[in-house]
Amino acid sequence: MWTGEADVQRAESLKEADQERKARYELEAVKEELLKASRDAAHLAEVTERNRIARDLHDHVGHDLTGANLALQAYEQLEGQQAKDMLNEVRQRVERSTVMLRDTVHDMTPVTRIGADRLEQITAEYPRIPVSFQKTGNTEQVPIHFWSLLEPCLKEALTNVSRHSDATRVNVQLDVTERFVRLSIQDDGRGTEPAAEGSGIRNLKLRARSFGGSVSVNVTDGYLIVCILPLEEDKL
C-alpha cells in the first residue's frame, strides 16, 4: 500500500514538474515574441522617420532647388527688371531650402549622446577604476535598436565589477564589421562569478536571441561579457 502511494505521489510530482517546465517554455516563448515585436516596432519607427525626412526634402527642398535651377536658366535670357525679379526668385528659393535643411539637421541632432558615443560616455564616467574604450568599423551602420541592448550589456558588466570583482582596470572593445557587431567588456579581476546566473544576464541573453545574436560570459581570466549581433538581416 505504501509503495502504491509513493508511486502515485511520484507520478503527480513528475506531472507537476512537466507542467511547470511547459509553463516556463511557454513564458520564454512569449517573452521572445514580445522582444521581437519590440525590435520590429523600433525598426519600423526608424524606417518611417527616414521615409518622412526623405519625402519632406524631396517635396520642399527638391522642388525649390529645381525651380531655382530653372529660374537661373531663364535669367540668362532676360534683361532689366525681369532679370532682377528672376534673380530675386532664385534667392528666395535658395533661402527657403537653406532654412529647411538647417531645421532638419537640428531636429535630427540628438539632445543626449546615443550609439557608440553613449558607450564611450559611460566608460568615461565610471567612477571606481579606469575603463578604456576602443572601437573599430563604421558604427553608423548599426541599427538604432541594437544600442538598446549594447548599452545594458556594458552597464551590466560594470555593475558586476562594482559588486563582485577586485579588478583594477576594464577594457571595452566595440567592433563593427559588414556581418556583425561585437561588444566585449573584460576586467582584470579574479573572475569570480555569482553562484547563480542573475536575472540581468538572463534577460540580456534573451534579448540578444530575439536579435539573432548572443551574450556570453567567461570567467577564465577576469570577468568577460561578449555580445554579438548579426548585421546582415538588420541593415537598412
SS3 177: coil
Q: Any bridge partners for residue 173, and if so which? A: 134, 184
CA distance 88 to 75: 10
Fold of 115-230: Heat Shock Protein 90 (3.30.565)
Report the residue count for the chain. 236
pLDDT on residue 229: 95
Give the CA-trace dihedral at 170, 136, 234, 157, to 10 degrees.
0
**Amino acid in the structure at residue 130:** P
**Does the pLDDT value for residue 168 go beyond 80?**
yes
Which residues touch 120 (CB under 8 Å, ≥6 apart)? 113, 133, 135
pTM over 0.85: no
Query: Tens digit of pLDDT for each residue in 174-183?
Result: 999 999 999 9
Domain ranges of the chain: 1-109, 115-230
**d(C-alpha 206, C-alpha 218), whole Å:** 17
